[in-house]
């Protein structure tokens, strides 16, 4: 008998078995607008019912985003815990889209591996579905790729894609930010999915810590602490938009506060942040001390305890903060917006010292 695709390392039967499992996960996320089931060549979504449910829209805009999980996956491989990185994948994409004020509509994923382990892939996609549930988004499809020789045994990579909807008059784009506005910081749930190359270098390689190590103040072993999934901020953003005027939103990912806040601020202003106003999760202190990592490097690499920021008029801050707290997330005013002295002045200042 001649060689088969399975002999070359690709098992179509395993892939089809996975699709059957994915259908039940996707069913949990199904929302208005979804047409058909997973398994076709393309996914269909009807916008008209959502626009009608919103009472009509003047100028509907589709908002798209894509992202991955990065080297946080290395922790999943080492611990053999695969049901949280899918939450990260959904969160990293959905949180970007909601910074425009958009409502997430649908999500697709890409899972690639050298040899498909149905149990592992099932756990990953189960996590993706959980992330979509938390992010109020429908999982409508994706791609599973078995690529022999391209990935090390037991490893895989992930990418996600999301589309949202916002009416242009309600678009949050930062243009109206002005001096005197305040900056609200919504707490992160730890590292989220950024900075893991440095975190792994410091904690695992340089300090030689095992993943079962207990670190002061962290409250759980190192492995589970590092795998704590990224927070989903859909409910937080919708609550803020209902409570007050939100002029800019920033998802704090790679680049930290100094790298992400300027993306949504006019050139003429500077964000002044006060570190004493929020609590830095202990894991960041361990990375700083064990690796002798400079403070500027910490802030440019990690979220440092703030996963999302919102710029609002000072008078609206109490109502917006109360709305965030009603979603069970923690938030506080962490800074304010001031005029920028000149083109050479920093865009973000933290505790009186320039951070960028």
Which CATH number is 289's domain given?
3.90.650.10
Number of compact structural domains in the chain:
2
Q: Are 340 and 264 in contact (CB under 8 A)?
A: no
| Domain identity same for 123 and 268 | no
pLDDT average, residue stretch 177-189: 98
| Same domain for 189 and 152 | no
Lowest average pLDDT, out of 22-26, 31-35, 134-138, goes to 22-26
In a domain, 237, yes or no: yes
pLDDT at 243 over 60: yes
Asked if pLDDT for residue 310 goes beyond 70, the answer is: yes
SS3 string of 47-73? Answer: CHHHHHHCCCCCCEEEEEEEEECHHHH
Same structural domain for residues 27 and 165?
Answer: yes
The residue behind tokens 């242009």 is 168
Q: What pLDDT is recorded for position 355? A: 52
**CATH number, domain at 114?**
3.30.1330.10
pLDDT one-digit tens code per residue, 104-133: 999 999 999 999 999 999 999 999 999 999
C-alpha gyration radius of the chain: 21
Over residues 320-341, the mean pLDDT reads: 97
Which pLDDT belongs to residue 59? 97
Mean pLDDT of 318-326: 98
pLDDT beyond 60 at 281: yes
For 11-25, what is each residue's pLDDT tens digit? Answer: 777 878 788 888 889
- Is 177 part of any domain? no
Over residues 48-84, the pLDDT tens digits come to: 988 998 889 999 999 999 999 999 999 999 999 999 9
Where do we find the tokens 């923690």?
A: 330
Burial class (CB in 10 A: 0-12, 13-18, 19+), 199: buried
- Asked if residue 50 is part of any domain, the answer here is no
Predicted local confidence at residue 53, as pLDDT: 86
Predicted pLDDT at 352: 58
User: Where in 125-179 does DSSP place strands (E)?
Assistant: 138-146, 156-167
* pTM: predicted TM-score of the whole model, two decimal places: 0.95
Whether the per-residue pLDDT at 155 is higher than 50: the answer is yes
Specify whether 198 is located in the same domain as 344. Answer: yes
Shared domain check, 150 and 32: yes
Once rounded to an integer, what is the mean pLDDT over residues 179-203? 98
Using CA atoms, how far apart are residues 113 and 149, in angstroms rounded to an integer?
9
Range of the domain at 282: 182-354
Phi-psi region for residue 214, left (φ > 0), alpha (ψ -120 to 50) or beta?
A: beta
Q: Do 153 and 117 share a domain, yes or no?
A: yes
Judge whether residue 353 has pLDDT over 60: no
Q: What is the pLDDT of residue 92?
A: 98
pLDDT band of 292, cuts 50, 70, 90: very high
175 within domain boundaries: no
- d(CA 295, CA 243) in angstroms, rounded, equals 35
Tabulate helix, strand, coil % of the chain (nearest 5).
40, 25, 40
331 and 221 belong to one structural domain:
yes
With cut-offs at 50, 70 and 90, classify the pLDDT of residue 36. Answer: confident
Bridge partners, 144 (sequence order): 111
Distance CA 33, CA 201 (A): 44
pLDDT at 356: 46
pLDDT at 354 over 80: no
The pLDDT value recorded for residue 37 is 83
Same domain, 274 and 343: yes
């Amino acid at each position: 008998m001649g060689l088969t695709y399975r002999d070359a390392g690709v098992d179509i039967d395993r892939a089809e078995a996975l699709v059957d499992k994915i259908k039940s996960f996707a069913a949990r996320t199904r929302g208005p607008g979804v047409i058909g089931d997973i398994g076709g060549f393309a996914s269909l979504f009807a916008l008209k019912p959502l626009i009608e449910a919103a009472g009509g829209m003047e100028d509907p805009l589709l908002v798209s985003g894509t992202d991955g999980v990065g080297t946080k996956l290395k922790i999943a491989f080492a611990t053999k815990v695969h049901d949280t990185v899918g939450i990260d994948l959904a969160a990293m994409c959905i949180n970007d889209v909601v910074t425009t004020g958009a409502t997430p509509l649908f999500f697709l994923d890409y899972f690639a591996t050298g040899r498909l382990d149905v149990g592992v892939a099932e756990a990953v996609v189960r996590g993706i579905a959980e992330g979509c549930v938390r992010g109020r988004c429908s999982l409508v499809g994706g791609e599973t790729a078995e690529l022999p020789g391209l990935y090390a045994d037991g490893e895989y990579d992930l990418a996600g894609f999301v589309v949202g909807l916002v009416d242009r008059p309600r678009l949050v784009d930062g243009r109206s930010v002005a001096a005197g506005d305040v900056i609200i910081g919504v707490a992160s749930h730890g590292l989220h999915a950024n900075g893991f190359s440095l975190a792994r270098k410091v904690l695992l390689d340089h300090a030689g810590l095992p993943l079962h190590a207990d670190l002061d103040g962290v409250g759980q072993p190192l492995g589970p602490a590092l795998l704590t999934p990224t927070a989903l901020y859909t409910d937080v953003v919708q609550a803020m938009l209902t409570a007050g005027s939100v002029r800019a939103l920033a998802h704090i990912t790679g680049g930290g506060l100094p790298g992400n806040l300027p993306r949504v601020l006019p050139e003429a202003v500077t964000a002044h942040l006060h570190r004493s106003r929020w609590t830095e999760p202990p894991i960041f202190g361990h990375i700083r001390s064990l690796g002798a990592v400079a403070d500027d490097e910490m802030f440019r690499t990690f979220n440092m305890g703030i996963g999302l920021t919102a710029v609002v008029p000072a008078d609206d801050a109490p109502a917006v903060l109360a709305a965030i707290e009603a979603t069970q997330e923690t938030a506080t005013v962490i800074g304010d917006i001031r005029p920028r002295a000149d083109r050479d002045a920093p865009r973000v200042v933290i505790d009186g010292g320039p951070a960028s």
